[in-house]
Structure 1
Amino acid sequence: MTQSKNILDNGFFFATAMWLFSRVVIIVAMLLIAPSLPIAENAQAPTFGWDAFYAWDSIWYHRIVVVGYEFINDGKQYSVAFFPLLPILTRVIMYFGLPFQVAATLLNNAAFLGALIVFYSWVKETHGTSAARWSTAVLAWCPYSLYGSVIYTEGLFLLFSTAALRAFDKKQHLWAAIWGILSTATRITGVMLIPAFLFVTWKQGRNVKAYLASFAVGVGAFLFSLYCLIKFGDALAFVHVQKGWRDSTGFAWQGWWNMSTQIVLSSPLLFGLIVVSGFLLWRFRQQLSDIKLRSLFYFLWLLLWLGIGEPLWLTAGNPFGKILLVKIVIVFGGLYLLWYWRAKIPLTAAVYGFFSYALILNTGLTASVERYAYGIISLSFALGLLLNRDRSWGYAILGFFAVILASLAVQFAHNQWVA
């Protein structure tokens, strides 16, 4: 019994178990379930093999590895929009004889496992073992953890940004700079580490080393900018190319309003159910301390969710339905959660979370914002603390996450846009 408890208390074992079980759900959904389901309009028949993890942005990274970066400032889409660290590391792995799909998939999955291990250690150091387990489980089972397994940058970015935040929180400024540089070489959102570190440095009255580490984080993005200047004569090519994806910047008021309207009009029964459920949860919050009543409430809600309208995996190409509701809950629910728990999570994580939201909500787009929100490790920190406080709801939420995770994996396997 003691030996079993020691194994469960081992952060490496727990993080690995969460990674393994959640990845098995994705693999089963993509390779076994997806081929047996009807193919929605504008979808493709899923493939069995490594190509199942290769779609959308994966194609751009593949092109970078094969032919290098391309850019002309003509308002069209070019590969320079994607930062270089994933292609570089993938190319290194390919020297061992592995094809791109295999090398990039293994890289992202290994990095995601590393992110879970680092995250577990950080939460345990600040809030104890139980909170670390819940936070790690949230990061592993969140529906958009799908992108920690397919050929995207989520795994790498979560690993490097989490390691940078943890190091800075522990005042390990040299390591914070190193991990931060790798973050800004992976994705543009990594630059939000810079104002976050500067604010914390000022707030906590840290020394000059902290200021130097804060500015050093930008070296990754600076080197890519220097490359763009030399190759294309435009140091901000990765910014200017964004015109191929969007017409404007700033908060997408119209897009979010249209999305909210679509949710109400396309699934009025589901929307009404959620409103009534929310009222009942608040009205009878004291009585819901009974775990049996909670379980019944959750079970009925899940049945209604699954039974209303089309299955979630058939709605990706449809601008209406449940998938939009998931997006809004993750983005704005996550922002509220971050605000509510801002004093409980480390200051570094809280400030980084708010700066990251300021960036991703002002891109002029609503597409992919939920995926970028998932990449803000602060949200998993906050939700983990919440579920640790109320564990009976925690199990229900993680179970619901698993259902949506499998659904999104099926969509991706059908080459449908997920986020």
Structure 2
Amino acid sequence: MNPLNKLTQLLAKFKDFFTPFVEFCQSNGIIFAVTMGVLSRSIILLAFFVIAPFCAVLSEPQAVKAEWGWEVFSAWDSSLYQIIATSGYEVINHTEPGGNVAFFPLFPLLIRGLINLGLPFELAGILINNLAFFGALILLYQWVETTNNIQAARWATAVLAWCPLSIFGSVIYTEGLFLFLSIAALRAFDLEKYPQVILWGSLATATRITGLALIPAFLITSWQKRKPAIAYLSGLLSGCGLLFYSLYCGIKFNNPIAFITVQHTQWQRQTGFDSQGWLKMIMQILIGSQNWKKGAIVDPWHPLLVIIIAIIGYLLWRYRHQLGDAKFDYSFCLLLLILWLIAGDPLLNTAIILGGGYLLWYLRHELSLVAVNYGFCALGLLLASGGTISLSRLAYGIVSISLALGVMLSHYRRWGYVTLGFFSLLLISFSVRFAQHLWVS
């Protein structure tokens, strides 16, 4: 028998073997969401404990050899959460707030609770964030299945699980917890379960400052849909977490907005839109980081390649009907991959903000109205935050963006499979970088 035919038959047997499992997962939303979570988390564990320890450590000052224990899940902001959970918020000169006041209290409070039960900090933080992340996947599936359809729910869940920034749903950060609480609040509002809106919204606004975007989202949606007064009231009361933290800061530091003040005094963030930061990112994409840093074209290849990619992209779009859908899609995906290899992280940071905003507007009639309003309010909050550091990670915490991308990919599945494949490669790369304490996002 021809070897190719043997291989084809073997692959067919494997397909027949796994088909019942795949069909079962697809028919059960919880199983599908958990499966997406387990598979994507397995990639992170593989990168942490198999790939990262054998990768050469780059010559950057903060780079370290990957750890083998729970410590591999702790880097950058994780240590700040540890200080809050074990010692409380930092106070300088008896009254001045320290830099960790910028981090909201719910996550470290939960960690403190598990520490009191005897768990070490690392294990407590990992358990809370991961359990919440899996809960977020399940809630997102159930929510989108109600507002859209099963296909959209599957793709939105897959996007949230496989996005490379989902690494922050497994390490000692607040992404998993915040996604769970914000999705729960948004879903409750859609289902008109207003006591739950107050509960989940209050917890979300006690987790991170971007939860503040829930309040205008609920109020605007209530006005657009002419909802009863209880909807407006629940929208306002969803900010109780922020209110209580503000009261705490007022009592302890005599400054109810200390969590904002330290952003400027301790973290050197500007006030308002960071035009210089955005200009830098865009110019890094167009002319390259080296040329931007030097203030002159010392590397002509970067801008030349960008121009060539732009010309090829225009030609592909111009003659897309002659090429056919498959050839156009794969050619365009390859072109975007090359652009990413050239531009790197600045392209990802810019794309997730601008692309996310475009998708929300383009699909505004297909998405839940409260999800659209929350997405725009949260993006506006990020743009007005006075910085561009960690923008992509913070944008990942806005579930509306993953929801919009998932709905779009449910219409264009060829793009969807390519996107998930690209996400998988980036997830490995981001995991290795995090394990070596290199900056991610």
- TM-score, with normalisation over the residues of structure 2? 0.87
- 1:27 and 1:236, CA in 2 relative to 1: closer, same or farther beyond 3 A? same
The number of aligned residues is 406
- 1:196 and 1:4, CA in 2 relative to 1: closer, same or farther beyond 3 A? closer
Deviation at 1:264, TM superposition (A): 2.8
Contact 1:77 1:245 in 2 (8 A): no
Contact 2:316 2:328 in 1 (8 A): no
Distance in 1, matches of 2:85 and 2:374, equals: 31
Contact 2:36 2:157 in 1 (8 A): yes
Q: Is residue 32 from structure 1 mapped to residue 53 from structure 2 by the alignment?
A: no
Contact 1:71 1:79 in 2 (8 A): no
Q: Is residue 16 from structure 1 mapped to residue 27 from structure 2 by the alignment?
A: no
* Cross-structure match for 1:376: 398
- 1:4 and 1:138, CA in 2 relative to 1: closer, same or farther beyond 3 A? closer
Unaligned stretches of 5+ in structure 1?
310-320
Unaligned stretches of 5+ in structure 2?
1-18, 289-301
Distance in 1, matches of 2:331 and 2:240, equals: 53
Distance in 2, matches of 1:194 and 1:205, equals: 16
- TM-score, with normalisation over the residues of structure 1? 0.91
* Cross-structure match for 2:373: 351
* Cross-structure match for 1:64: 84
* Cross-structure match for 1:312: none
Deviation at 1:295, TM superposition (A): 4.2
Contact 1:14 1:133 in 2 (8 A): yes
Distance in 1, matches of 2:397 and 2:331, equals: 33
| 3-state secondary structure, aligned to 2:181 | helix
Contact 2:372 2:400 in 1 (8 A): yes
Deviation at 1:301, TM superposition (A): 6.2
Q: Is residue 176 from structure 1 mapped to residue 197 from structure 2 by the alignment?
A: yes
Contact 1:146 1:408 in 2 (8 A): yes
Q: Which moved more, 1:279-288 or 1:222-231?
A: 279-288
Correspondence for 1:5 among 23, 33, 36: 23
Q: Is residue 285 from structure 1 mapped to residue 324 from structure 2 by the alignment?
A: no
* Cross-structure match for 1:198: 219
Distance in 2, matches of 1:198 and 1:135, equals: 25
- 1:247 and 1:394, CA in 2 relative to 1: closer, same or farther beyond 3 A? closer
Amino acid at match of 2:433: Q
Distance in 1, matches of 2:245 and 2:197, equals: 20
Cα RMSD for the two superposed structures: 2.2
Instruction: Determine what percentage of the aligned residue pairs are the same residue.
Output: 47
Q: Is residue 214 from structure 1 mapped to residue 235 from structure 2 by the alignment?
A: yes
Deviation at 1:106, TM superposition (A): 1.5
Structure with max Cα Rg: 2
Deviation at 1:270, TM superposition (A): 5.5
* Cross-structure match for 1:154: 175
Distance in 2, matches of 1:301 and 1:417, equals: 23
Deviation at 1:292, TM superposition (A): 6.0
Distance in 1, matches of 2:27 and 2:281, equals: 43
Contact 1:115 1:162 in 2 (8 A): yes
Distance in 2, matches of 1:95 and 1:145, equals: 28
Taking the TM superposition and a 5 Å limit, the aligned residue runs for 1:212-291 are 212-243=233-264, 244-266=266-288, 267-268=302-303, 271-272=306-307, 274-287=309-322, 289-291=324-326
Amino acid at match of 2:361: W
* Cross-structure match for 1:338: 360
Deviation at 1:139, TM superposition (A): 0.7
- Which protein has greater RCO, CA pairs closer than 8 Å, 6+ apart? 1
Contact 1:246 1:364 in 2 (8 A): no
Distance in 1, matches of 2:381 and 2:369, equals: 19
Correspondence for 2:162 among 116, 141, 160: 141
Q: Is residue 366 from structure 1 mapped to residue 388 from structure 2 by the alignment?
A: yes
Residues 109-168 of structure 1: CA distance to partner in whole angstroms, max 9, x if unpaired? 110110000000011011111110001111111111111111110001000001101110
Deviation at 1:335, TM superposition (A): 1.4
Residues 196-216 of structure 1: CA distance to partner in whole angstroms, max 9, x if unpaired? 111111111111111110111
Contact 2:316 2:332 in 1 (8 A): no
Residues 226-278 of structure 1: CA distance to partner in whole angstroms, max 9, x if unpaired? 11222222222111111211242111111111122222333446634642453
